[in-house]
Amino acid sequence: MSQEPASALPRGQHLARGFFRFGLPTFAWRFPRNPERIAVKIHGDVAQSLDLRDELQTLPRVEQTSDFHCVTSWSCRQLHWSGYRFADFYQHIVVPRVQPQAEARLVVLRGEDGYAATLPLDDLLKQDVLLADQLDGAPLGIAHGAPLRLVAPAHYGYKNVKHLQTIEFWRDARHFRFARPWPSLMHHPRARVALEERGVGVPPTLLRWIYLPIVPITRCLFRIAQARHERRR
């Protein structure tokens, strides 16, 4: 698929030493109960809700190599994902079975850990957006979003929701509030990496500096939480 030549990183990004578990600190201690089993509820301004389980397997499997850019400014190159195109999922499962209203073009994606993000449907229908269940040839691990996550490389990491549990199609954002207690300026409606849409109402260059010292602490927190979780399992 989209095999990329070595090129400059997007504005304000630096290369991380590896791909590590990351997110808002609130979610560091939360894990999916059944990381082996896909169970996604689809609802919203739709004619019928659907409990998605094995239906994804009817779609063509696609492989994709793409870069990953966290809004806090670390990036990872050439991650090899495998899964299903969101566009195929929408066309072959959502449209016929869920029948969203024509105006229901705001998508809310929620993870089992309580994390949630939104993206416009039009962004999700791009060819490089996947519902991924594999990374580097192996089933997604708990660190990177088992059993299913969104991969939307043109958008900052915070739109790439892990541990997908619910996908909602709404006419507007009335059912969405960005994770408390984090300020909503951290959540840009599109968060496109190429345009450096890091947040709302704050210059992206300022956000780079605010986020930078937070990265090693957050990374460490997520590592500790995962190690503890693995000991308990």
Ligand X SMILES: Nc1nc2c(c(=O)[nH]1)N[C@H]1C(S)=C(S)[C@@H](COP(=O)(O)O)O[C@H]1N2
Among 9, 24, 125, 221, binds ligand X (CB under 6 A): 24
Choose between 23 and 100: whose C-beta lies nearer to ligand X: 23
Question: Does 198 sit near ligand X (CB under 6 A)?
Answer: no
Q: Quick check: 21 binds ligand X (CB under 6 A)? A: yes
Measured from the CB atom, is 125 or 225 closer to ligand X? 225
First and final CA of the chain: distance in angstroms?
36
Q: Which residue lies nearest ligand X, judged by its C-beta? A: 23
Q: Which of 51, 64, 201 has the alpha carbon at shortest distance from 127?
A: 64
Which range touches Mo ion (CB under 5 A), out of 3-11, 59-67, 153-161, 220-228? 153-161
Q: Using CB under 6 A, which of 40, 56, 161, 186 touches ligand X?
A: 161
Q: Alpha-carbon torsion 85, 90, 92, 94, what sign?
A: positive
Residues 108 to 127: which contact ligand X by CB under 6 A? 111, 113, 115
Q: Is the peptide bond before 96 cis (omega within 30 degrees of 0)?
A: no
Q: How many whole angstroms from its chain centre is CA 48?
A: 24
Longest dimension (CA), the chain: 47
Residue 70 is a binding residue for Mo ion (CB under 5 A): yes
